[in-house]
Amino acid sequence: MGYDTANRGGGNIPPWVGAYVVYSRAWMILEHLRKNGYGVGRHAVYKEMKRVEEEMAVMIAALDQGLEDPVRDAVDRNTRFLTTQQLAATSR
């Protein structure tokens, strides 16, 4: 999965408890950022945008590998990119 091709359900969801919810939120965050012009190396001038892009690259790598802690941490740090409705839909 690449930054610009991140899609819901792309790849297998690991067997750890809560993985589906965490992965759903991660895909929503990546989709939001992609739609809003984020991408690896696109905003090297702006420190905050560059930090978010680097963090998203780490999240994608963790998603690909099925690593629980890095994915959970990245989603927790970036829930500001999710709407209340998205959070409610994934908390059921």
- Look at residues 61, 1, 59, 68 and name the one whose alpha carbon lies nearest to residue 29: 59
Query: What pLDDT does residue 11 have?
Result: 59
- The whole-number pLDDT of residue 1 equals 46
Sign of CA dihedral 83, 36, 26, 76: negative
The vertex-76 CA angle with 70 and 81, nearest 5°, equals 120
Other C-beta atoms lying within 10 Å of the C-beta of residue 51: 11
Q: Per-residue pLDDT tens, the chain, 92 aa: give them.
A: 444 444 454 557 888 888 899 999 999 999 988 887 776 666 566 777 777 788 888 888 889 888 889 999 989 988 888 888 888 888 76
